[in-house]
Amino acid sequence: MKKLIKISLLVVLFFGTLQAYTQDHMSKIIVKGNSEIETLPDETTVRFVIRSKKMDYSETVEDLNRRINVLVKDLSKNGFDENELKTSNFRVNKNVVYNRGTRADSGYVGTQNLEITFQFTKEKLLKAINTGTGSDAEPEISMSFGLSKEKRRSLEDELIRSAVKDARSKAGILAEASGVEIGKIIEIRYEINDNDFPQPMRFESASMRSASMDKSNETSQMNPDNITLSKDVVMVFEIQQ
């Protein structure tokens, strides 16, 4: 019985090694398929940064909370859903100053962010900016553009199909030029190559205030650039003998 088990194991190891050897030494074509799409972002995030400088820690925290609440109320009055407003990056640090090489504490500096993400339209973006610049909360304002999950997912599916089609086409051209025929697919490697990150566009509050004076402002700052998405797929084809 033990001999039979040993023989069976040897047979399995032999054929497994033979198969691996055959696959490593078979004739094959390795190609990389590429695909690329340019698309306009359909989503924007507006970030409001509240900064406070007070001598007392509790006063700094109180001032941050008060101004955040003021900004939330202002945005809500202008049609933005309060449930979609997200606070982040709350921090309070000692305000350290140096005078002629001497270190001294000068109260506290606090910051807190308030963000809202929505489907991009120029009108809604200008409304958010105008609300922030006109608010007594006096936030710093920045914005970024990106893709919604739904749009990114649909484009990624299209990119993968195009990359596979490109790889097949390249393999066919190589085979035809070499006078051979391609057989079955031996291996597919999907290479993650996403560069569809939001494009940050940051502006100082002063420039935002000047833009908000004219609600029909059509500056290029409000027109996001295209976002380029790309995918790579490596495919290995057998060359038929």
Please report the pLDDT score of residue 103 as a whole number: 75
Q: Where residue 25 falls among pLDDT bands split at 50, 70, 90? A: low
Q: CATH 3.30.70.2970 occupies which residues in the chain?
A: 43-146
Please report the pLDDT score of residue 142 as a whole number: 92
Please report the pLDDT score of residue 168 as a whole number: 95
Specify the residue for token string 């040897």: 10
Please report the pLDDT score of residue 33 as a whole number: 95
pTM more than 0.75 = no
146 neighbors 198 (Cβ within 8 angstroms): yes
Does 88 have pLDDT greater than 60?
A: yes
Q: Where residue 26 falls among pLDDT bands split at 50, 70, 90? A: low
Name residue 114's beta-bridge partners.
48, 87
30 neighbors 236 (Cβ within 8 angstroms): yes
pLDDT digits (tens, 9 = 90+) for 125-136: 999 999 999 999
Please report the pLDDT score of residue 80 as a whole number: 95
Q: Cα–Cα distance between 137 and 228 in angstroms, integer? A: 36
pLDDT digits (tens, 9 = 90+) for 138-193: 999 998 899 999 998 899 999 999 999 999 999 999 999 989 999 999 999 986 65
Q: Greater confidence, 192 or 50?
A: 50
Does 121 have pLDDT greater than 60?
A: yes
What number does CATH give the domain 27-42+147-199+224-241?
3.30.110.170
The helix/strand/coil state of 134 is coil
Classify burial at 76, counting beta carbons within 10 Å of its beta carbon; exposed 0-12, middle 13-18, buried 19 or more: middle
Q: Where residue 70 falls among pLDDT bands split at 50, 70, 90? A: very high
What residues contact 112, with CB distance under 8 A and at least 6 apart?
A: 49, 50, 64, 68, 87, 88, 89, 90, 91
Q: CATH 3.30.110.170 occupies which residues in the chain?
A: 27-42+147-199+224-241
Please report the pLDDT score of residue 35 as a whole number: 94
Please report the pLDDT score of residue 24 as a whole number: 53
Does 81 have pLDDT greater than 90?
A: yes
pLDDT digits (tens, 9 = 90+) for 104-117: 778 899 999 999 99
- Domain topology for 43-146: Alpha-Beta Plaits (3.30.70)
**Nearest by Cα to 231 from 192, 185, 173:** 192
